[in-house]
Structure 1
């Protein structure tokens, strides 16, 4: 029996780009897969755009209105797939993304896959051809405690990871770093050097490429380490 895939897309006021993103995802899904759009309270036409696809694979959820992290958790809590991928409302999946991530996830012992992406502007002009190179992405648990390289929209993972990451700890600074570190502490993480996504940056993204101040970064990492210890992963 074929494995089922769940895509979790956290949205909020995403009318400008979400249609193109959903279209790029649906092209790659099988008939039994699902795209969960968890929509935080919005003041634009995002909801009507999503429902306008009239695709039975799309499941629209009411978001909790607690920001991106709470919205992602809301979607993950209802995901039924054997494999789960996260998606942002602004990006574009490149052809073959899903099949390449699934192939990597099917390797023995692989719990989570992280792939490269291209950083693009609002018109999809390439600003950086490789996020991995631009960011200086490093493998390993402690490298990613010190400087996070995990981006949610570039990750796919096995369902078994959900049992370890949910519910999210309170005061969690970043859901993608939490998912990545739990995976590092629990199993094998596979890195795909090929860019499989156009990571659109336009000034109004819900996520940021910029770092917080040093004091805040230290406080966040203390929070994450404590949460990992509480889950018995350190």
Structure 2
């Protein structure tokens, strides 16, 4: 039983791919905060390095390691993990970050009041040397449907949400560009949102990162327009299904 006053089961979902360089540190930082009946669900997208061996080396019953059974890529890999989440509260985790002590306790406390909670993060380089004290400050993070349709500030590794939000977000539309953006917008339309201004993880940036959140977008204006059209279309369609 965790000592935060909230005993609902926690599910942490992580997508992995060739993450041997940093994943041990991240998993260790998560397990320290999980209760005995919580779970860490890891979906691997065909890693060819030592990622799976490192995961198996923890020999921890709270870890469920599975292979991605959907299309390759981050969107379907993380959805593969999320579909198995049993907890009342669901956390997203990247394979290369480090969670700060108290992250689960503080975010679970906020989830007692809000449906979606997003924490700030300390941005670091590959060696965990701080490069910026606030990811929120860099992104201009905050709630708002139009704000986040124009510029997404929902970063998956910073997010946790109630199981009811996950049920509304799944399945991910196949043409959705980003899972965190989709979950955040579903939250904006149907649930309560909280942006915690306290950094609760080290957000590690390095050459192998899949996202370009801090380094700036590499996509052309036309692609960005298409993504916003697709997001709007899918949100309208999902709303009509409720």
TM more than 0.5: yes
Structural RMSD (CA): 1.3
Alignment partners' CA distance in 2, 1:115 and 1:96: 12
The alpha-carbon deviation at position 29 of structure 1 amounts to: 0.3
Structure 1 runs, 4 residues or longer, greater than 3 Å off? none
Partners of 2:107 and 2:227 in 1: CA distance: 29
* Match of residue 3 from structure 2: none
Does the residue aligned with 1:170 lie in a helix, a strand or coil? coil
Instruction: Quote the residue 2:76 is aligned against.
Output: 70
Alignment of 1:161-172 (within 5 A): 161-172=165-176
1:133 is matched with which residue: 134, 137, 151? 137
Structure 1: distance between partners of 2:142 and 2:161: 19
Q: Give the number of aligned pairs.
A: 232
- CA offsets, 1:123-181, max 9 Å, x none? 00000100111111232111000000000000000000122111100111111000000
TM-score normalised according to structure 1 size: 0.96
Structure 1 residue 143 corresponds to structure 2 residue 144: no
Report the counterpart of residue 111 of structure 1 in structure 2.
115
Partner of 2:228 in structure 1? 221
Q: What stretches of structure 1 of length at least 5 have no aligned partner?
A: none
Q: Does 1:199 align with 2:206?
A: no
1:29 corresponds to which of 30, 34, 54: 34
Q: Distance in 2 between matches of 1:2 and 1:94?
A: 20
1:58 is the counterpart of 2:63: yes
Per the alignment, residue 89 of structure 2 pairs with 83
The equivalent of 1:122 in structure 2 is 126
Runs of at least 5 residues in structure 2 that lack an aligned partner in the other structure:
1-5
